[in-house]
Amino acid sequence: MRHRSRGLGLPIPALLLCTALAVTACGAQSSTSDSGDGGSGGGELSAVPGFDPDAGTIAVGNLVALSGPISATAREQLLGQQAWFDKVNADGGIAGEYQIELITADNQYDAQVTVQAYQQIKDQVVMLSGILGTPSVKALVPILNRDEAVGVPSNQAAELRDEPALLPVFPSYQTNVVNAVAYLNEQDPSLKDAVYCELGYDSEWGDAVEEGLTFATEQLGTTVTSVQRYAPLDTSVTAQVQELKQAGCEVVAFSGAVNNTPAMVAAATQLDFKPQWIAEFIANSTAFSGTPIAQYLQENVLFTGPGADLSDTSIEGIKVLKDSLGDTDLTLQHVYGYIQAVAVTTLLEKAVEEGDLSGPGLREALTTMDKIDFQGLNGDLTLGEPEDRVLPQATTIYEYDPATPYGLSAVAPQYQAEETNPDF
Amino acid sequence: MATDVSTPTGSTRAAPERKVPPLRLVGSRGGRLGILLFVVLVIAVPLNMTSTYWLGILNAAGVAAIAAVGLNVLTGYAGQLSLGHAFFVGLGAFVAQWVGGIHGLPMLLWLPAAGIAAALVGAAVAPFALRLRGPYLMIVSLALVFIGIYVARNLKSITGGNEGTIVEARATLGPIDFEELTLGTLVFAREQGLFILIWATLGLVLLVVANVMRTRGGRAMQAVRDHDVAAEVLGVRMMRTQTNAFVLASALGGIAGGLLAVNLEYIRPDSFNIDLSVQYLAIIVIGGLASLWGPVLGAVFVTLVPVFVDQFSTSLPFMAQGGNAGLTTTDLSLILYGAMIVVFLLAEPKGLVATLGRLRRAVLPSAGQTGRPPRTTHREDTA
């Protein structure tokens, strides 16, 4: 009796597979083909993804939250970047030859979307001028390393400062808290014996603020008494604020964005809790102007961040921004994006000077850079080899001022505590 | 006393005279051709596609499809609503990183480990969760997501806590490294290699689920879904059947999580939240509940909507450009996404699968009139 196979016959799939492989193998690269490193080799810049020498354009990409609860502030960052790029382009462009183009992609403040957005634009840009969100930055780091690419993180995470793929430019969350606590004690020495606490995001941001506050209180010879956490999308923090009140907190470091501030103020007002709060500038919004929130902020909150006196047009960066924005009120988010853009053009100038705009070329240029002139808007940033980098140790301290359109008025531009931690 | 619902009463007496078709992995010639076509596509698509962006999109869709196939077992076939699927996907992701990344073990171990760990937890939870039904089960399963995130945030040595962790598990199978795949002188991009891995796994998962649903246990799941009291009267052990569905769904969620971790290279506890569970639920609703290919179609559809919106966004006047005000691609995608769910629930509750079937019958009127009845089964079909 002859046996007839009823299963999957081998010849047919084998034939189909072979056909598929032989006919369609055009998407894989041959290992013997040229890699095309984008280097100059002879002093003239070669074309690389994002750089078209014939058109005279260099494109950079920004992965930013164009949608979601922080989209309004994220868009201000983009406008700030565009203001500086427009200025550079008007002056002739990078090295007086190449115009900068800004390409944006919405990362929705989500790490997985960020990876997809990066894949979408990476072949159109030479580098990333912004990556919004610490989780997004961390998700991209291994991919940027594999692609030998460079990006500017839109965050202040100290632990990312020595990543070869990143060009960090801002003082860290930790440094901001350290400087704010030092400033408060300088103004009122009796706060040395105050009760220090934190109301923070249940995330790496909250961890960073706690780390900074711990360092600052150690310098004062005291400790952090109470740490309360909340989820980023919590609409009420009454229970946490109640805990802080019961602990007798007198100085509270707050890590929260603009969408968290109303909940904090509502809980504190409801409980008649009025400590000295320390917050990042991103906790403020022009939308608070004229509301009861503004009154509480004015009486109880000190803000920290990069930047300077936003009304001082003698500062080059402020003047450029105001000229570019026209009737739009200048905010620290504009300044934030502007500072990133300055770092980007400085790096691009260096890479053009060294004759290589490819990813490896930009990384090489990054290691040969020393300082960046932020036009009075940011502290000194020490670059060089990744392990030698030191983030700015100075922070501008702001108070809430209802008389100004944005609400924040600088009381101590580029203030630096006597004792800072270079690891922050 | 348990009765085999898969065998009609009296069939054993007629067996000697009746020609019983042998049990085969693929029951029809069309099915075998479909598998061959799938295999060819799994290899041909990445070879023809140079864009790592599009491959990345398809890889994400493939992972979502595997997870959704798992949820479809529980919700589509067994009729149990669950919002806890993201928990099992997350569990699989972190187990994959623990086994493959921290301990450096190969994919042959970390991928099954991701599925087994999720299955074990599913088996432990199921007896308690399945005492409830409908919206009550949904609420209990929702609690799993929050418990999972809380536990993961506090297991810093494995998960990295709030900050998450870079995934170091490698997609290697013996000498084959899917992340640096080479064939002779051909060098594949990482996304190309992972496409082959993810979609081949999806193919295997579909094959397994299709066959499980043909077994006694699979038919028992559908019987419980259609009328639990009638099923019990016929001898189906409801709790065991539902537990089986829960465990299988959890295992597939775990496998999807392992692949998601390797594909994404970075995972954090907060990524496996309620939004992800809702997304999987939307995928199977849009694709077609209780159909084999529904979750695949739904995953591709849900993944591609924002991509296509993005492609056409520059030509739409009401869209935001740069930092200016206007509708973003995400806003428009969400509007379309929500509208699609409403449209499908109202106009096509059987999902994309039914729509495609209708189109096929319109083009080929003879199709569907002969041969076997469609495999898609719904409560309405049997009521």
CB nearest A143 (choices: B50, B189, B265):
B265
**CA–CA separation, A162 and B167 (whole Å):** 19
Give the tokens for residue B166.
């870079």
Q: Hey, are the CB atoms on B328 and A119 less than 8 Å from each other?
A: no
Q: Hey, are the CB atoms on A139 and B323 less than 8 Å from each other?
A: no
pLDDT-based confidence at A13, cuts 50/70/90? low
Nearest-Cα distance to chain A for B324, in Å, is 7
Whether complex ipTM tops 0.85: no
Candidates B324, B212, B219; CA nearest to A102 is B324
Which of A45-49, A205-209, B201-205: highest mean pLDDT? B201-205
Which of A6, A29, A114, A321 to mutate: most B Cβ within 10 Å?
A29
**CA–CA separation, A174 and A213 (whole Å):** 7
Does the pLDDT value for residue A39 go beyond 80? no
Average predicted confidence (pLDDT) for chain A: 87
% of chain B beyond a pLDDT of 70: 86
The residues with which A48 forms a beta bridge, in sequence order, are A51
Does the pLDDT value for residue B31 go beyond 80? no
Q: What's the pLDDT tens digit per position in B286-313? A: 999 989 999 999 999 988 887 787 777 6
CB nearest A115 (choices: B44, B192, B264):
B264
Residue A248 touches partner B, C-beta closer than 8 Å:
no
pLDDT of B378 reads: 47
Does the pLDDT value for residue A41 go beyond 50? no
Which of B97, B163, B305 to mutate: most A Cβ within 10 Å?
B163
More confident residue, B169 or A6: B169
Does the pLDDT value for residue B139 go beyond 60? yes
The residues with which A399 forms a beta bridge, in sequence order, are A302, A409
pLDDT of A320 reads: 92
pLDDT of A96 reads: 93
pLDDT-based confidence at A361, cuts 50/70/90? very high
pLDDT of B16 reads: 54
Q: Rounded to two decimals, what is the model's pTM?
A: 0.79
Does the pLDDT value for residue B339 go beyond 50? yes
The residues with which A101 forms a beta bridge, in sequence order, are A59
Q: How far is CA A130 from CA A65, A107, A133, B302, in A?
A: 11, 11, 10, 27
pLDDT of A365 reads: 95
Lowest-pLDDT choice from A169-183, A241-255, B271-285: B271-285
Nearest-Cα distance to chain B for A323, in Å, is 17
Q: What count of CB pairs under 8 Å joins A to B?
A: 145
pLDDT of B371 reads: 46
pLDDT-based confidence at B323, cuts 50/70/90? low
Average pLDDT on A277-299 reads 91
Does the pLDDT value for residue B120 go beyond 50? yes
Nearest-Cα distance to chain A for B341, in Å, is 21
CA B81 to the chain's CA centroid: 15
Average pLDDT on B107-118 reads 96
Nearest-Cα distance to chain A for B153, in Å, is 9
Which B residues, 237 through 266, put their C-beta within 8 Å of a C-beta on chain A? 264-266
**CA–CA separation, B277 and B266 (whole Å):** 19
DSSP state of B180: G
Which B residues, 182 through 241, put their C-beta within 8 Å of a C-beta on chain A? 182-183, 185-192
pLDDT of B129 reads: 77
pLDDT of A37 reads: 47
Does the pLDDT value for residue B374 go beyond 50? no
Lowest-pLDDT choice from A110-114, A162-166, A251-255: A110-114
Lowest-pLDDT choice from A242-256, B242-256, B353-367: B353-367
Residue B80 touches partner A, C-beta closer than 8 Å:
no
The residues with which A61 forms a beta bridge, in sequence order, are A103, A128
CB atoms within 10 A of CB A3: 5
| Chain B residues touching residue A78 (CB < 8 angstroms) | 322-323
Residue A141 touches partner B, C-beta closer than 8 Å:
yes
Are A328 and A358 within 8 A, CB to CB?
Answer: no
pLDDT-based confidence at B247, cuts 50/70/90? very high
pLDDT of A318 reads: 92
| Chain B residues touching residue A204 (CB < 8 angstroms) | 162-163
CB nearest B162 (choices: A77, A108, A203):
A203
pLDDT-based confidence at B383, cuts 50/70/90? very low
Which A residues, 32 through 71, put their C-beta within 8 Å of a C-beta on chain B? 32, 66-68, 71
Give the tokens for residue B318.
């009401």
% of chain A beyond a pLDDT of 90: 63
Helix axes A111-121, B238-264, angle to 10 degrees: 40
Nearest-Cα distance to chain A for B239, in Å, is 36
Buried b (16+ CB within 10 A) or exposed e, A383-410: beebeebbbbbbbbbbebbeebebbbbb
Give the tokens for residue B21.
């078709």
Which A residues, 252 through 311, put their C-beta within 8 Å of a C-beta on chain B? none
Lowest-pLDDT choice from A278-282, B8-12, B38-42, B77-81: B8-12
Candidates A374, A60, A423, A397; CA nearest to A212 is A423
End-to-end CA distance of chain A: 81
| Chain B residues touching residue A68 (CB < 8 angstroms) | 330
Are B301 and B287 within 8 A, CB to CB?
Answer: yes
Q: Hey, are the CB atoms on B320 and A66 less than 8 Å from each other?
A: yes
Does the pLDDT value for residue A239 go beyond 80? yes
Question: How many residues are given for chain A?
Answer: 424
Q: How far is CA B367 from CA A258, B29, B290, B355, B359, in A?
A: 58, 15, 21, 14, 10
